[in-house]
A = this chain, B = another copy of it.
C-alpha cells in the first residue's frame, strides 16, 4: 500500500458514512457548478452570473427546481440535456450512483462503501443493498425511458407528427422531471397546456409518487413481486415497518392535502370548474407540492389559505430515501402519532402491530422541531432583507426546504443574502436535517450515542 493508499485508508477510517455522503453531495455541486459555467450549454450571450449558476447548481443537484434565471431564455438544448443528467445523479443519490458505477466498472465494493450506500439508502441491513441499488437505478431509468417514449409519441400525435424533434425533446423532459421530481420548467408555462387532460395528469402524478415514495419501498415492492411470481402459496412475504409507514403516510398526506386544497380553493380558482376538474386539480397539487413542483397555472391566483396549505405540504416533503426533500413524511407522521398517543394517554406509539422505538420518536421530534426553527429563522431573515409579502416569503422558504421548487415568482428578485438563504435551505432540505445533525458527530460518538433499535424506521 503506497502513501496515497495509506492516506485514503486514514481518511475513510476517520470519516463517518454520513460525512462521506455529504462530501459527495458537495463535490457533485461543485462539478455541476463548473459545468454550468461552460458557455456551450447556453444560448448566445445568455450565461448568467456566478451566483446564479451556483444557485442553479444547488437547485438541480437537490432536484428543487427554483431558479433565479428563466431557463427557457438562457439554456440551449444541450444545457437542458445536461440538467436531465444532473437530475438523475441528484435524484438517486450520490452513493447509489457510485455503486452502479462500481458494478459497471467491475470493481469490488468495500465494506465501507457498502456502509455509505446503506446510509444513503437508509437500509437497516447491509446485505444485498448493492444489488438492490442497481435494480432501483435500472427501474428508474427504464421508467423514464418508457414514459419518455409514451409522452413523445403522444405529443407527436397531437402535432400531427410534424415536429418530431421537439415532441421527443419535451416528452422525455417531462418524463425525467416527473420521475426525478425535479420540477424545473423549461417552457415558461409548466404543465398548464395539459390542465384538462386528466389521463396525462394521472400518469404524471403516478410518476411523481413513484419518485417520492422512497427507494426502499420500491425495492420491497420489487421483492414482493418476485416472491409472488416464484413462490406459489408457501410462506408469507413481510413488508418492513418502514415501507408500511412510508406508504401509509404518503396516502394520508396525499388525501389530506387534496381535501384541504379542495376546501380552501373551493370558492377561489376551483369555483368555476366542473367537479371532475376540481378534484383532479386538488389531487394534482397535493401530489406535486410535496415533491415535484410541477404546476398547472400561475400560483399567484390561489387564495392565501391554499398557499399556506401548499407551504405545509412542501415543508413535510417526500419519503426519506427518495428523490424528495423536506422534513419527510414518516418523520412528521411519527411525531403526529406520538402526539396522538399522548392525548389518548398511551405511553407508546404502536402501529401495524409494531412499536415505534424511542430513538426513532426522539429523532422525529428533534428533526421536525429543528426544521420548524430553521424555516422560521429563514423567513425572519428574508423578511428583513426582501421587500416581498410574508406569504410569498413563507412559500419560497418551504419550497426550498421541501426541494419542491414552486415559487410565487420572487426567486429572481431575491437579494444576495436571500439567494444564499435559499441555497442553504435547498441543500439542508435535500440532505436532510438529521444528516446535518449527525455530520458533526465523530465516528466513535456516533457508535456510542445513536443506538439502532430493533424495529428501526427511517427518520428524516
Contacts and interface: CB of A to CB of B under 8 A. Distances in A.
A370 B389 CA distance: 27
19 contacts: A264-B380, A304-B390, A305-B380, A309-B380, A312-B376, A339-B366, A339-B369, A339-B370, A342-B362, A342-B437, A343-B366, A345-B449, A346-B449, A347-B449, A368-B369, A369-B369, A372-B372, A389-B389, A390-B390
Interface of A: 264, 303-305, 308-309, 312, 335, 338-339, 342-343, 345-347, 362, 365-366, 368-370, 372-373, 376, 379-380, 383-384, 389-391, 394, 437, 441, 445, 449-450
Given A335-B369, A365-B365, A441 B345 contact: yes
A306 to B, nearest CB: 9
B370 A304 contact: no
A301 to B, nearest CB: 15
A445 B379 contact: no
A125 to B, nearest CB: 25
A65 B383 CA distance: 27
Interface centre among A339, A365, A376, A441 (most CB of B within 10 A): A365
A303 B383 contact: yes
Question: How many copies of this kind of chain does the complex include?
Answer: 2
A362 B264 CA distance: 33
Contacts of A339: 366, 369-370, 373
Contact of A391 (B309, B345, B390, B449): B390
The 7 A-B residue pairs with the shortest CB-CB distance in the complex, in nearest-first order:
A305-B383, A345-B449, A305-B384, A304-B383, A342-B366, A390-B391, A390-B390
A204 B383 CA distance: 31
A380 to B, nearest CB: 6
A446 to B, nearest CB: 8
Nearest to A437: B343
Interface centre among A343, A373, A379, A441 (most CB of B within 10 A): A343
A365 B346 CA distance: 15
A385 to B, nearest CB: 9
Given A308-B379, A339-B373, 12 more contacts: A264-B380, A264-B384, A304-B383, A305-B383, A312-B376, A335-B369, A345-B445, A345-B449, A346-B449, A369-B369, A389-B390, A390-B394
Contacts of A370: 339
Contacts of A345: 441, 445, 449-450
A303 B384 contact: yes
Contacts of A338: 365-366
Nearest to A373: B339
A142 to B, nearest CB: 41
A269 to B, nearest CB: 14
Nearest to A260: B380
Contacts of A376: 312
Contacts of A449: 345-347
Nearest to A381: B305
A77 B379 CA distance: 44
Contacts of A264: 380, 383-384
